[in-house]
Amino acid sequence: MTVPIALAGAMAAVLASASGLGLVIARRLTAAPSSRRFDLTIRGVERDGDQQAIVLDRTDQTESSGVYTLLFPSGGWLQLSDEILDRGPGRVARVVTGTAPGFTPSTGDRGSWSGIYFLTPADAGLTAHDVGISTLSGIAPAWRVDGNGDHSTTWAIHIHGLGSPRAGTLRGVQVATEQDFTSLVVSYRNDSEGPHYGSGRSTLGATEVDDVDTAIQYAVEHGARQIVLFGWSMGAQVALQLAARPQHQPQIAGLVLESPVLDWVATIKANCARAGLPAVAGLLALPWLTSPLLARVTGLPASIPLRDLDWIARAHELAVPTLILHGKDDDSVPSAVSRKLAALRPDLVQLELFDAGHTLTWNSDRARWRSAVAAWLTAKMAAD
Using one digit for the tens of pLDDT, what is the confidence trace for 187-218?
999 999 999 999 999 999 999 999 999 999 99
Summarize pLDDT for 338-354 with one digit per residue, the tens.
999 999 999 999 999 99
pLDDT of residue 356 exceeding 70, the answer is yes
Q: Which residues contact 121 (CB under 8 A, 6 or more apart)?
A: 127, 128, 143, 145, 170, 173, 185
Which pLDDT band, with edges at 50, 70 and 90, does 11 fall under?
A: very low
pLDDT of residue 288 exceeding 50, the answer is yes
φ, ψ of residue 371 in degrees (nearest 5): -70, -35
Q: Which residues contact 226 (CB under 8 A, 6 or more apart)?
A: 153, 154, 155, 251, 252, 253, 384
Compute the C-alpha angle 325/329/333, nearest 5°: 65
Q: Which residues contact 50 (CB under 8 A, 6 or more apart)?
A: none
Cβ-based neighbour number of residue 273 at 10 Å: 17
Cβ-based neighbour number of residue 78 at 10 Å: 22
Which pLDDT band, with edges at 50, 70 and 90, does 261 fall under?
A: very high
179, containing H or E segment:
none
Collapsing DSSP to helix, strand or coil, 233 comes out as coil
Q: How many residues are recorded in the chain?
A: 384
Sign of dihedral through CA atoms 111, 88, 329, 23? Answer: negative
pLDDT of residue 5 exceeding 50, the answer is no
Average pLDDT over residues 310-327: 97
Q: Which residues contact 87 (CB under 8 A, 6 or more apart)?
A: 55, 93
Compute the C-alpha angle 206/143/318, nearest 5°: 40
142, containing H or E segment:
strand 138-145
Which pLDDT band, with edges at 50, 70 and 90, does 384 fall under?
A: low
Which superfamily is assigned to 122-383 in CATH?
Alpha/Beta hydrolase fold, catalytic domain (3.40.50.1820)
* Predicted local confidence at residue 1, as pLDDT: 44
The share of the chain scoring above pLDDT 90, in percent, equals: 90
Summarize pLDDT for 136-156 with one digit per residue, the tens.
999 999 999 999 887 899 999
Contact call for residues 183 and 173 (beta carbons, < 8 A): yes
Q: Which residues contact 229 (CB under 8 A, 6 or more apart)?
A: 156, 157, 159, 239, 242, 243, 252, 254, 255, 256
Average pLDDT over residues 293-315: 96
- CB-based burial label for 99 (10 Å; 0-12, 13-18, 19+): middle
Average pLDDT over residues 234-254: 96
Range with the lowest mean pLDDT among 18-27, 38-47, 48-57, 61-70? 18-27
DSSP 301-358: SS---GGGG-TTTTGGG--S-EEEEEETT-SSS-HHHHHHHHHH-TTTEEEEEES--T
Which pLDDT band, with edges at 50, 70 and 90, does 10 fall under?
A: very low
Chain-centre distance of CA 13, in angstroms?
38
Pairwise CA distance, residues 380 & 374, whole Å: 10
pLDDT of residue 229 exceeding 80, the answer is yes
Instruction: Please give the model's pTM, rounded to 2 decimal places.
Output: 0.93
Collapsing DSSP to helix, strand or coil, 11 comes out as helix
